[in-house]
């Protein structure tokens, strides 16, 4: 059974106890985790500047399923609107299935055959409501996808996000081929694996901070 009913009961009890006695229940309001620096400046630089999209994987080096699940668990730390956690991750490691899915995507030519694992990030549409939340699922799903990619990077895996900016028809086809529920909108696909020996990456120059930031 899903634990959400119990979470709600805990919250109600905590509220009652706060109103009656002023006692702060640690179950629903735990002390904040430490917020001081986790990595040195050098480690931080290295971590963020060493992720690059990889388009040449070692096809014979399949990522361990436990490692993929560990990255997925890390990605559950992603913030989401009202903590709704609407994102879902579909993981594929079967080569034929991966190639069937990738035949529907338009940005993998030349390296599809090398991809040993594939993630499809989706968002459950039913967790959003009204015109005001029309775009929220793309934001929450995008944030989850990015955290997942950083988590994989931290665990030593390489990735390449693969866009799914598609209309309804190809999306329906993808749902049918990948067994994705009609209630889920597709955010992005993610190629996962280990880069082939001595693989190269695209230069992908960055805009300067002054071009990106407007500091007032």
Ligand X SMILES: Cc1cc2nc3c(=O)[nH]c(=O)nc-3n(C[C@H](O)[C@H](O)[C@H](O)COP(=O)(O)O)c2cc1C
Can you give the binding site for ligand X, defined by CB under 6 A?
A: 52-53, 55, 107, 160-163, 188, 201-202, 204
CB of 216 to ligand X, least distance (A): 28
Quick one: which of 179, 151, 146, 182 has its CA closest to 161?
146
Nearer to ligand X by C-beta: 203 or 216?
203
How many angstroms separate the Cα of 183 from the Cα of each of 19, 116, 126?
A: 40, 27, 7
CB of 199 to ligand X, least distance (A): 12
Of residues 52 and 100, the one with the C-beta less far from ligand X? 52
Give, in order, the Cα–Cα distances in Å from 90 to each of 78, 121, 180. Answer: 17, 6, 8
Are 204 and 55 spatial neighbours (Cβ–Cβ below 8 Å)? Answer: no
CB of 171 to ligand X, least distance (A): 15
Our CB check for ligand X shows the closer of 53 and 171 to be 53
Q: 90 by DSSP, 3-state: which?
A: strand
The residue sitting closest to ligand X, measured at its beta carbon, is 107
Smallest gap from Cβ 159 to ligand X, in A, equals 8
> Which burial class, exposed, middle or buried, applies to 203 when counting CB atoms under 10 A from its CB (0-12, 13-18, 19+)?
exposed
């Amino acid at each position: 059974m899903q634990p959400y009913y119990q979470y709600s009961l805990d919250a109600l009890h905590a509220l009652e106890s706060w109103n009656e006695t002023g006692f702060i229940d640690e179950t629903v309001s735990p002390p904040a985790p430490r917020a001081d620096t986790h990595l040195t400046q050098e480690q931080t630089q290295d971590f963020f500047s060493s992720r690059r999209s990889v388009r040449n994987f070692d096809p014979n080096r399949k990522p361990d399923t436990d490692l993929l699940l560990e990255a997925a668990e890390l990605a559950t730390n992603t913030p989401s609107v009202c903590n709704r956690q609407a994102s879902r991750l579909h993981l594929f490691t079967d080569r034929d299935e991966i190639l069937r899915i990738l035949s529907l995507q338009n940005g993998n030519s030349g390296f599809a055959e090398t991809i040993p694992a594939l993630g499809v990030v989706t968002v459950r549409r039913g967790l959003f409501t009204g015109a005001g939340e029309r775009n929220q699922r793309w934001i929450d799903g995008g944030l989850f996808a990015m955290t997942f990619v950083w988590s994989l990077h931290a665990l030593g895996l390489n990735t390449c996000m693969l866009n799914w900016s598609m209309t309804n028809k190809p999306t329906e086809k993808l749902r049918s081929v990948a067994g994705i529920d009609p209630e889920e909108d597709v955010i992005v696909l993610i190629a996962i694996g280990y880069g082939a020996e001595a693989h190269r990456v695209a230069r992908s120059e960055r805009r300067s901070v002054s071009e990106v930031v407007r500091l007032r």
